[in-house]
Amino acid sequence: MPTVNIHAAKTHLSRLVDAAAGGEEILIARAGRPVARLVPLEDRAVRPRRRLGRLAGQVSVPGDFDAPLPEEVLAGFEGR
């Protein structure tokens, strides 16, 4: 893992970002002490894409899902 001084990192930022995008990790140092690490982002292509409507026809919502709750259930939520 190469270490680059902060001044050199500012000067060569494009090259360092290209190297990080290629999988390399780069330490950025101030006065010889590491203060930051430039790493590649995780590859989004590896994660499966979410598909809208994937559960269509498998889940049903009752017609009264938004009806008021019974008094005894409300009392339990309110600690009465």
Place of tokens 């190469």: 2
SS3 content of the chain, % helix, strand, coil (to 5): 30, 20, 55
pLDDT in tens, 10-63: 999 999 999 999 999 999 999 999 999 999 987 666 677 788 988 899 999 899
N-to-C CA span, the chain:
61
Separation of CA 75 from chain center: 39
The three-point CA angle 24-26-31 to 5° equals 170
**pTM of the predicted model as reported, rounded to 2 decimal places:** 0.52
Question: Quick one: tokens of 46?
Answer: 């590896």
